Amino acid sequence: MKKVVTVQANTVEEAIQQALIMLEVPLEQVQVEVLTNPGRRLMGLRKALAEVKVTSVDQVGEPPIARELSKIEELASLLDDVDLNGPQAVNRPAKKEIPDMNNQSDVSAARIQEGKIQFQFNDNSLPSIIPNENALLYVNGELCTQPISIQPEDQVTLTICDEVVAPKFTIQLIEKNMIALLSFTPGKRIKRSLANTAWSPRLAIRVDEVTEVTNDIKPQQIVDELKVMGVQQGLVFPAIKKATEVDKPYELIVAKGTLPVEGTDGDLEVHVRYEAFDPNSEEKVDFREMNAITNVKEGQVIATHVLPVEGTAGRSLLGHKIPVKPVRDVILRLGKNVEQVDRDLVALISGKPVIVWRDRLVEIEVNSEFNHPGEVSLESGNIRFEGDVRIGGNILPSMFVGATGSIFVGGSITKATIHAMKSVMVRGNVLSSTISVGKQEAAINELARLIKEVTHLLVQIKEAVDQIFIIRGQGEADLNPSELKRLIQLLMEKRYAQLEDLNKQFIQKVRSQKATLDEEWTNVADSLYDIFINPINEDMQNLEEFGRVVEEAQILAQLYDGGSSLQTKLSVPYAINSTLYSNGHIEVYSKGVYHCNLSAEQTIKINGVCRGGEISAPFEIVLQESGSKNPVKTVIRTSAEGCIKIGRAFAGTEIYVGIRKHVFTKDGTNITARLNAEGELDLG
């Protein structure tokens, strides 16, 4: 009886060798049919195994086993009248040799006993056989795949098809070539034998199977496959070994790339704590200690500069470098009364520390505090102080209080003027007075906007000059300083005319505020004046000098582009007939405002009423009550992106959101005014 095995392996030679071991025969006694050649599928990501069909051939005069022909081959064999010699038929026993069939000897039948097929015939019928795909049925040397009747003179052969499926694995690179994932499928060895049957006129061939799971993959095979894929580093050898031991489908990571380690930006670790006054908790606060300012003593460490730590680049399994984001450090600007010792920032005097963040730029200074326990009157005179000011009593008419830091007023303010750079907190009422907070901050923001626009045009001019030299084939050495300056002016006239006005605005604003600005602003302004305005200046000797000025302007624009993280704030309980301005926020935390003009660059919140006057803030305005039962004009304005919230709006209240206007003709409640997606005013 012939045996046929089908084997899958990495190569054709390996598959043939496995088949010979299973059949226990030499190569000379088998016929080999290559069903599939090894290769790769899915753009080289999936490996296809070799598959061969090996049939054993009896050594003594046994004709070869005929393989199943394709449709084309069958037609060709018919045309060529090719005589296909099938395997040696099993001698049909004579009728007299057929054992007793339980008194059914007059019926043609077939059976399988001990791996052999047996027949009995009579003159009235023929037995038939139903093939089985795992036991090849040959009748007169031809393979039969459909039920067939057997004639007495037919030669019938059954060939058992054992099967061997080699274990296989595939490896794919995932996560941007950082992980090699192995998918393993175990092999199997299926041994088949013919099952014994009883006599039957219509014999269905049955096959018994014994399946054995196999895994003969070697670690070196996995390593070799990874090398073919270009992976020679980051191998996980415990996982590779495990893949050669499992007996079920499995997935595991057999190689890992080196992940990048991100660095950390430089920072400032602040060691002092600020305690801000909460007006909503006024009933629980000792107002003698209200708006407590955190003070530092002379020699105290205010903050520590934490240096940046560079990251470590990674590497993929294919050897490609994975860069990390460059780290950034903070830029320290030490103001008054602060010095740096190693990485510590130390106070030189006792006072209030002030830390202002502008993206990467950090400004630190220590302000001394001026404490005036009584009233500000003609007797005390006006107060101007470089630092913080604390007023214990009232500020009387016609008086002025100014500070470069914060101002706290424990009493009321009447017909007076208050200017502060950081914040203003008033405990008493504000009557017919003017209070402004952060006007200097607003001026710096305006300068930052101007230098950003100027820098953008300067970069374009420099690039244009570089291109001119390239096109002309000339170097800047061919131009003297006056000619280079003239070339830049011509470019401004023809293509960058807006630079002249922006540059003049920037220079004028810097010079008008020179006393309160850092030196870096005036240095850039002076350089821009010499290049573009001063007719007799010849300091710019070459294009490199011009590039240096452009670079200085770029640095200044970048430093102040992030704006200040310090939120200036003006807080009062009640105001009448007054003008209040803040570069940040305004909060009226008690009764409200009457006939006042309030303007903030961010938000306004009035817990009480707003009767008469005008309120303006671009982001959000929140009012408890606006307008009055008696006719009084109350105007509330915000930007197109802003929002106005009013608990109760009396008739006559006007609101503006962007260019959209609404006048309440009757009282309204719970108003939330903003623009919808179509740009129309929605009152919520």
What's the pLDDT tens digit per position in 525-557? 888 888 777 766 555 556 777 788 888 888 888
Beta strands across the sheet bearing 202-204: 148-149, 128-130, 202-204
Query: What single letter denotes the amino acid at residue 388?
Result: D
Burial class of 529 by CB neighbour count within 10 A (0 to 12, 13 to 18, 19+): middle
Residue 114 is encoded by which pair of tokens? 């001990």
Q: Is 366 left (phi over 0), alpha (psi -120 to 50) or beta?
A: beta
Helices (H), 560-651: none
573 contacts 428 by C-beta, under 8 angstroms: yes
Tokens 């992976």 identify what position?
231
Which has more confidence, 21 or 68?
Answer: 21
Q: Going by DSSP bridges, is the β-strand pair 406-409/387-391 parallel, antiparallel, or unpaired?
A: parallel
pLDDT at 401 over 50: yes
pLDDT band at 564 (very low <50, low <70, confident <90, very high): very low
Rounded-to-integer distance, Cα 458 and Cα 488, Å: 10
Rounded-to-integer distance, Cα 329 and Cα 308, Å: 6
Q: How far is residue 128 CA from its own chain's centroid?
A: 70
User: In sequence order, what are the residues at sequence separation of 6 or more whose Cβ sits closer than 8 angstroms to the Cβ of residue 24?
Assistant: none
Closest residue by Cα to residue 354 from 198, 546, 565? 565
Rounded-to-integer distance, Cα 140 and Cα 112, Å: 18
Rounded-to-integer distance, Cα 408 and Cα 571, Å: 10
What's the pLDDT tens digit per position in 311-330? 999 999 988 898 998 998 98
Q: Is 503 helix (H, G, I), strand (E, B) or coil?
A: helix
pTM, entire model: 0.49
pLDDT at 141 over 60: yes
pLDDT at 288 over 90: no
Which has more confidence, 84 or 106?
Answer: 106
pLDDT of residue 536: 60
User: In sequence order, what are the residues at sequence separation of 6 or more whose Cβ sits closer than 8 angstroms to the Cβ of residue 128?
Assistant: 147, 148, 149, 150, 201, 202, 203
Residue 291 is encoded by which pair of tokens? 């708006």
Mean pLDDT, residues 182-186: 92
Intra-chain end-to-end CA distance of the chain, in Å: 91
pLDDT band at 72 (very low <50, low <70, confident <90, very high): very low
pLDDT of residue 520: 81
Closest residue by Cα to residue 138 from 154, 122, 153, 123? 154
Rounded-to-integer distance, Cα 302 and Cα 350, Å: 11
Residue 103 is encoded by which pair of tokens? 């008194």
Question: Helices 543-559 and 481-494 meet at what angle, rounded to 10?
Answer: 50
Apex 498 CA angle, 494 and 501, nearest 5 = 125
What's the pLDDT tens digit per position in 155-175? 998 888 888 888 999 999 998
Q: Going by DSSP bridges, is the β-strand pair 400-403/417-420 parallel, antiparallel, or unpaired?
A: parallel
Lowest mean pLDDT among 295-304, 351-360, 451-460, 476-485: 476-485
Burial class of 67 by CB neighbour count within 10 A (0 to 12, 13 to 18, 19+): middle
pLDDT at 86 over 70: no
What's the pLDDT tens digit per position in 446-505? 888 888 888 888 888 888 877 777 766 655 555 666 667 677 778 777 788 888 888 888
Q: What are the CA-CA distances from residue 179 to residues 48, 140, 168, 194, 368 (Å)? A: 21, 57, 20, 48, 60
Q: What are the CA-CA distances from residue 640 to residues 176, 602, 655, 675 (Å)? A: 44, 13, 12, 7
Residue 177 is encoded by which pair of tokens? 């070539």
Bridge partners (DSSP) listed for residue 660: 657
User: In sequence order, what are the residues at sequence separation of 6 or more whose Cβ sits closer than 8 angstroms to the Cβ of residue 280?
Assistant: 589
Question: Helices 439-472 and 543-559 meet at what angle, rounded to 10?
Answer: 150
Give the number of other Cβ atoms within 10 Å of residue 582's Cβ.
30
